[in-house]
């Protein structure tokens, strides 16, 4: 079969012939019909995560997929050929930029019936990130206040909708041209990051979802109420994350050192900081599917490209300017 392959870190993606996926007893073989594009894909290609998430080139890139089941492993009970499904392939089992991919049954869910394949492919990574930040880690409740940075982006556009569904008061940062868009998604307060300082505009926030890191994260700590929490998806990683991925002592110490400063500042303010590197989960996708089919959450696809344009579309992600996600579909 054909796939987009990383021949070496920092090398351009190559469209090449690769071996058919080997389907283990608890895996499902999926004919990929659409794939979501994420900044994570490009960062992995460039080798930015090779210390904490190493891949041995050559490997097939791509995390988000939607498609049709063509075969199942001998111990798979929840899926059968012909099922329409979607998933965020697990770390070290990625490869959505291909004709077919083998996905663990535990990471797979049936596609929402109310959306297209392209829309479904836009969802797994960003929707799971939002769920794990707001529900699993943040335990966001009705009546609480949450700040979601970059509300017009892939994660932000889903997180706003989920937070509103949970009954929270939602603040977000966005540019002026995107202000009405994020309000339509459910934002109660919109801060124009180009002309306003969110630290001056907000205070007493229960939870912050930060996708920018650096100075933005430090300012986010200062708007939290005592006992509040900031969850960062751009880093710095912490020792808890290193333990989750089974890192050795050296990497655990290194990640602890990277986040020592921000964790110390958080303690002084009486708040907490956690790093989130989302994980694949079919169970959580099924929870999200129900919300999507009920209309509580809608996918936001800002750009659709043919599958053969994946390399150029990935490179364009860094330029911004796209609401929601970019999706590649087979034509």
Residue 226 dihedral angles phi and psi, to the nearest 5°: -55, 130
What was the pLDDT predicted at 118? 98
Residues in the chain: 331
What was the pLDDT predicted at 182? 98
Q: Is 148 helix (H, G, I), strand (E, B) or coil?
A: strand
What was the pLDDT predicted at 172? 98
Q: pLDDT, tens digit, for every residue of 237-276?
A: 887 887 777 777 877 787 788 789 999 999 999 999 999 9
What was the pLDDT predicted at 38? 97
User: Taking the alpha carbons of 278, 238, 240, 95 in that order, is the dihedral positive or negative?
Assistant: positive
- For the entire predicted model, the pTM comes to 0.96
User: Do 34 and 328 touch, CB atoms closer than 8 A?
Assistant: yes
Q: pLDDT, tens digit, for every residue of 47-100?
A: 998 888 899 999 999 999 999 999 999 999 999 999 999 999 999 999 999 999
Point out the residues of the chain with pLDDT beneath 70: none
Domains with residue ranges and CATH for the chain: 2-123+299-329 (3.90.180.10), 125-275 (3.40.50.720)
Strand order in the sheet with 145-148: 189-192, 169-174, 145-148, 205-210, 224-232, 272-275
What was the pLDDT predicted at 247? 73
Q: Which two tokens stand for residue 258?
A: 């990277």
Q: How many whole angstroms separate alpha carbon 303 and alpha carbon 328?
A: 9
CA–CA–CA angle 239, 124, 115 (5° rounding): 165
As a whole number of angstroms, the longest Cα–Cα distance in the chain is: 58
What was the pLDDT predicted at 331? 81
What was the pLDDT predicted at 276? 96
What was the pLDDT predicted at 258? 78
């Amino acid at each position: 079969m054909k796939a987009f392959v990383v021949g070496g870190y920092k090398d351009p993606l190559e469209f090449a012939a690769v071996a058919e996926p080997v389907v283990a007893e608890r895996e499902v073989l999926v004919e990929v019909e659409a794939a979501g594009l994420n900044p994570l894909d490009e960062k992995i290609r460039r080798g930015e995560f090779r210390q904490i998430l190493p891949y041995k080139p050559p490997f097939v890139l791509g995390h988000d997929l939607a498609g049709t089941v063509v075969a199942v492993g001998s111990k798979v009970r929840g899926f059968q050929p012909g099922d329409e499904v979607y998933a965020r392939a697990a770390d070290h089992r990625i490869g959505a930029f291909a004709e077919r991919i083998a996905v663990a049954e535990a990471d797979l869910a049936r596609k929402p019936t109310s959306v297209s394949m392209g829309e479904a492919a836009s969802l797994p990574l960003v929707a799971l990130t939002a769920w794990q930040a707001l529900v699993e880690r943040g335990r966001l409740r009705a009546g609480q206040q949450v700040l979601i940075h970059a509300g017009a982006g892939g994660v932000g556009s889903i997180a706003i909708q989920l937070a509103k569904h949970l009954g929270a008061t939602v603040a977000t940062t966005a540019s002026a041209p995107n202000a009405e868009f994020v309000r339509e998604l459910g934002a109660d307060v919109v801060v124009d990051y180009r002309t306003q300082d969110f630290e001056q505009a907000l205070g007493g926030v229960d939870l912050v979802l930060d996708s920018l890191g650096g100075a933005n994260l430090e300012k986010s700590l200062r708007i939290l109420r005592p006992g509040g929490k900031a969850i960062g998806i751009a880093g710095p990683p912490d020792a808890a994350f290193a333990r989750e991925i089974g890192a050795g002592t050296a990497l655990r110490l290194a990640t602890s050192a990277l986040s020592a400063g921000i964790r110390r500042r958080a303690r002084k303010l009486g708040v907490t900081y956690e790093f989130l590197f989302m994980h694949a989960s079919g169970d959580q996708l099924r929870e999200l599917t129900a919300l999507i089919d009920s209309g509580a959450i809608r996918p936001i696809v800002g750009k659709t490209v043919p599958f053969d344009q994946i390399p150029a579309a990935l490179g364009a992600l860094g330029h911004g300017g796209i609401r929601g996600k970019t999706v590649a579909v087979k034509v």
